[in-house]
Amino acid sequence: MAIYVKGTNDYPVAPEGQHLAVCCDVLELHDVPTQYGPKTKVRIYFQLEAVQEDGRPFVAARTFGVTLSELGALRPFLESWRGRRFTSEELERFDLEVLIGVNAVIQLIHVERDGKTYANVNSIMRPAKGTSLLAIDPKYIRMQDRRGDDYVAPRADDPSVMVAPTPEEQYGELPEPEDDLPF
């Protein structure tokens, strides 16, 4: 029996505009080809409040060089998100994993390249105070936990998928942060 596959990825593209989003993943990418040779990069993934036809949230991502230099793109992106600059102590060592679960308002811009449309994360900021925040879809599986190149994300309505507990279910009542910085 023949098994047919397509040569392109025809994933739905997230709509342009501003979206409430939650950071759902951070992935370190090794040996990414650049004009200066292979580099390590980091990709930050966001689940949007907007959902696809099958009920799964759209996911958008942005890739950065792994540096908090003022000349890099990552530092101003994070500072815009958190609403203030990093202190020199914070710049000495910052764990990007703390971003997971943090909400944001992101601006998506559509860009056409090689006949395909991509939704690029153009800018980011903190949600306004009082905004109802998003939680990561409990069926989302982090990139680091996916099984190889043949992995297919489960559909939102797949009953065989186990639902991960919410942070409150897993850890009990979460304490209020001491300040209003998201990270």
> What are the structure tokens assigned to 21, written together?
């989003």
**36-95 tens-digit pLDDT:** 999 999 999 999 999 999 999 999 999 999 999 999 999 999 999 999 999 999 999 999
Residues 157, 163, 166, 172, CA torsion sign: positive
**C-alpha dist (Å) from residue 87 to 67, 72, 90, 92, 181:** 15, 16, 5, 9, 13
- Domain membership flag for residue 84: yes
Residues 68, 70, 74, 79, CA torsion sign: positive
Per-residue pLDDT, 171: 45
- Domain membership flag for residue 4: no
> What are the structure tokens assigned to 158, written together?
């797949």
- Domain membership flag for residue 12: no
- Domain membership flag for residue 180: no
Cα–Cα distance measured from residue 38 to residue 41, given in angstroms and rounded to the nearest whole number: 10
- Domain membership flag for residue 1: no
Task: Give the structural domain span for 107.
Answer: 17-171
**Nearest partner of 144 among 8, 30, 22, judged by Cα:** 30
- Domain membership flag for residue 140: yes
Residue carrying structure tokens 């507990």 = 165
- Domain membership flag for residue 10: no
Residue carrying structure tokens 């994300």 = 153
Cα–Cα distance measured from residue 66 to residue 159, given in angstroms and rounded to the nearest whole number: 38
Domains identified in the chain, total number: 1
**87-126 tens-digit pLDDT:** 999 999 999 999 999 999 999 999 999 999 999 999 999 9
- Domain membership flag for residue 40: yes
